[in-house]
Chain A
Amino acid sequence: MAHSGINVLFEGRNLIRLFGGLWTTVEIAAVALVLGLILGVILGVLRTFPNRLLRLVLRLYLEFFRIVPTVVLLFLFYYILPKQLGVNMPANQVATLVFALWTAAEMSDIVRGALISVPKHQRESGMAIGLNRLQLYRYVLIPQAVSLELPATINLVTRVIKTTSLLMLISVMDVINVGQQVVEANNQKYPTGVFWVYGIIFVMYFAIDYPLSWWAKRMDKKRLERANG
């Protein structure tokens, strides 16, 4: 077993480097998600306001980020920001920005959907006790929307984490990029190394995403039980 492929992981600092790459991935995803979810909630609330122009602008924003593939978005920001706008950001920050804006767009749709599915009578009951618009959202609509939107939000989170695998295309040293380098550097000595490296990357992504999607499923089930119980 001297040349068993699995040893590629224990060669030199390979494993530590892979975890380092994973950390970069998680960091970008986490910052982008926090910013994106907050911005998305605000945009989602604004999209339920009666102002048409505001709604149109936000709708266009959503459609742009939803229709344009994430890879294209990454390239657009990575190449256009410095060239046309003179903004020079490290690749990690560009990635965080793109993912945050994308998350915000998707989240705004989730929040809007949840808010408009709170029954109209709830809104009127709130108005009838003299709540102003801010109070109506704060105490009545948003708390009820949260339980409706939580599963969809968690699914969005898992999608964002998964999609970070595209980051290597703008040379972010994420876990995939590091894995690629490890594979190439050890190709001679470990011809089957590629299997093990991508195998462990699979395990890493799975370990992060699976609990989230399990949680989402469980919450949805609970919500349905509550609604029907």
Chain B
Amino acid sequence: MAKQVIKVEHLEKYYQKDHILHDINFSIDQGEVVALLGPSGSGKSTLIRCLNGLEPYQNGTVTFNGDQVVPTEKNWQKLRQKIGMVFQSYDLFPNLTVLDNILLGPVKVQKQSRETAKAAAEKLLDQVGLREYENVYPRQLSGGQKQRIAIVRALALNPELMLFDEVTASLDPEMVRGVLNIISKLAQDSDMTMIVVTHEMNFAQQIADRVLFLEDGKILEQTKGDQFFKQPQTDRAKEFLESMDF
């Protein structure tokens, strides 16, 4: 049986009085790719942000690699090296070159030597086809290129779990494919464990081993990927897929 990477039990989240996430339970095994789908405002992004401590949660537990996370800032800060995250708004640091953006984590957080980290970073840059841009500043890159670098920056820490939060939502349509291809390749070639929040249904179908369908902060269904898109278990999910022109 594959190793369990992350397990979430009875997670509850409130913003003041608003109940954002209701009793969230799921677990993910190593190498599994989970797509988090659902209408806007259903709590997908909030949930994924709870999994690396960017959002506090009020109840329930997150267990990572068998150890229950004690949710202090210090613990999360350590765990974030193992839980990489890429955001919608490809936020590279504008004051650093592409290479320094990527090396910041490995060198300053993980105390790797610059040479070792640089070699690894260049290999990753090669994989996303941006090696020749290592010395330019982010403002000289297109949105798609920035997002690819942001993925490399997260991967440079050798995470065991990757969280993708609508990474293509603010890209020009023609940039979307390149970014999605990288994520697909990551799933296939390096067997990375991933949670992907996306509105790209074709992509989700192609990549997801399992789908968690969220609405109003509740998980309505957890279904195997191929099955979800052919035969969702709930009417709500069926409706959702139809509305996405899928």
A interface, CB within 8 angstroms of B: 119, 121-122, 124-132, 135, 139-140, 143-144, 147, 226
> Is residue B94 contacting chain A, with contact meaning CB distance below 8 A?
yes
Pair count A-B, CB < 8 A: 63
A to B CB contacts below 8 Å, 20 in the list: A119-B91, A121-B87, A121-B91, A124-B91, A125-B87, A128-B80, A128-B85, A128-B154, A129-B80, A129-B84, A129-B105, A129-B153, A129-B157, A130-B80, A130-B81, A130-B105, A130-B110, A131-B105, A139-B93, A139-B96
Q: B residues within 8 A CB of A122?
A: 91, 93
Contact present for B89 and A132 (CB under 8 Å) = no
**Min CB distance, B62 to chain A, in Å?**
16
Contact present for A121 and B89 (CB under 8 Å) = yes
Q: Map CB proximity to A onto B38-65 as digits: 1 under 8 Å, 0 otherwise.
A: 0000000000000010100000000000
Chain B contact residue count (CB 8 A cutoff): 26
Contact present for A125 and B93 (CB under 8 Å) = yes
Q: A residues within 8 A CB of B54?
A: 124, 127-128
Q: Map CB proximity to A onto B85-103 as digits: 1 under 8 Å, 0 otherwise.
A: 1010101111110000000
Contact present for B77 and A127 (CB under 8 Å) = yes
Complex CA distance for A89 and B95, rounded to whole angstroms: 44
Contact present for A126 and B93 (CB under 8 Å) = yes
Within 8 A of A (CB), among B90-142: 91-96, 104-105, 108-110, 139
Q: A residues within 8 A CB of B87?
A: 121, 124-125, 128
Complex CA distance for A109 and B64, rounded to whole angstroms: 41
Q: A residues within 8 A CB of B93?
A: 122, 125-126, 139-140, 144
Complex CA distance for A226 and B140, rounded to whole angstroms: 11
Given contacts A127-B77, A129-B157, whether A144 and B91 have CB atoms under 8 Å apart is no
Give the interface centre of A124, A125, A128 by most chain B CB atoms within 10 Å. A128
| A124-B91, A128-B85, A139-B93 known, 19 other contacts, Cβ within 8 Å | A122-B91, A122-B93, A124-B54, A128-B80, A128-B154, A129-B80, A129-B104, A130-B80, A130-B81, A130-B105, A130-B109, A130-B110, A131-B77, A131-B105, A131-B108, A132-B109, A140-B95, A144-B93, A144-B94
